[in-house]
Amino acid sequence: MKRVRVIGVGPGDPDQVTIEAVTALREVAYFVVTDKSGRGGMPDPLVNARERLLDRHLERAPVIVRVDDPERERRPDRTATQDEYDAAVARWHEERRAAYEEALLSHDGDAGFLVWGDPAFYDSTIRILQSLQARGRLDLQLDVVPGISSIQLLAARHRIVLHEVGQALHVTSGRRLHEALAQGQDNIVVMLNRVIELDGLEEWSIWWGANLGTASEALVAGRVGDVLPAIDEARDRVRAAAGWVMDIFLLRREA
């Protein structure tokens, strides 16, 4: 039986990796890491970030097994409907499953998968590995180590509570924000933002953060109508500095 550990490593700051996660990092024989370098020939900054994190917490040089990350269909004309989007994600997951299977079959010992934030929030690693378990070619024991999420760090950085007393908190993706608004949600954490479209929400309050826990971290807060240009500018600065943007925000309709 091969033990596979899915390890939440926080939003980016090595100091926010839990003691349980450090123990797990030190117990596995190698790490399977997806790598986007093959798409354009440029180094994948997220691979480099994982390497720096491992150098910080391991007492030996890490063994990193890189697998080419298949490109997901993102063209608006191919993912406009929910069914088209779901089909594109399913194809992407299947291609990742095949790549993970090959990596695990080709290497001995326990394997680790590093997941930004917490594996339970908008990450495909657990479900892909469970699919791999079901295929039966590998006898896998799957373990999950939780991590500090960007949701928690966003609240800490802005020194806020994520909800008012007794208020619900709705967590969704940028793609489904307008669906949440149509449902009447008025306190919303939004993740996975390719673009930020907040038309009609100018009077709402927003607490926004990007690349939390990293050297390129940026924060903006205020009334949406006042600060949206500053958020757009900050996203551009973060992308230029780091080569990638992972942002998240809390939207709240104020009484």
List pLDDT tens digits, range 45-80: 888 888 999 999 999 999 999 998 878 777 777 777
- Residue 151 pLDDT > 80, yes or no? yes
Tokens at residue 153, please? Answer: 């760090």
List pLDDT tens digits, range 187-209: 999 999 988 999 999 999 999 99
Rounded Cα gap, residues 85 and 76, in angstroms: 9
Q: How many CB atoms lie within 10 A of CB 145?
A: 21
Give every strand in the sheet of 218-223, ordered side by side.
Answer: 170-173, 187-191, 247-252, 205-210, 218-223
Is 64 within 8 Å of 30 (Cβ atoms)? yes
- Residue 247 pLDDT > 60, yes or no? yes
Hey, is 30 helix, strand or coil?
Answer: strand
Domain 150-252 is of which CATH architecture?
2-Layer Sandwich (3.30)
Question: What pLDDT score does 142 carry?
Answer: 96
Residue spans of the domains in the chain: they are 2-145, 150-252
Hey, is 211 helix, strand or coil?
Answer: coil
Q: What are phi and psi of 42, to 5 degrees?
A: -90, 150
Is 121 within 8 Å of 41 (Cβ atoms)? no
What mean pLDDT, rounded, does the chain reach? 92
Rounded Cα gap, residues 34 and 95, in angstroms: 12
Rounded Cα gap, residues 187 and 143, in angstroms: 33
- Residue 252 pLDDT > 70, yes or no? yes
At the fourth CATH level, the homologous superfamily of domain 2-145 is Tetrapyrrole methylase, N-terminal domain (3.40.1010.10)
Cβ neighbors of 217 (< 8 A, separation 6 or more) are 12, 157, 209, 210, 211, 238
CA geometry: angle 162, 163, 167, nearest 5 deg: 155
List pLDDT tens digits, range 2-42: 999 999 999 988 999 999 999 999 999 999 999 877 555 56
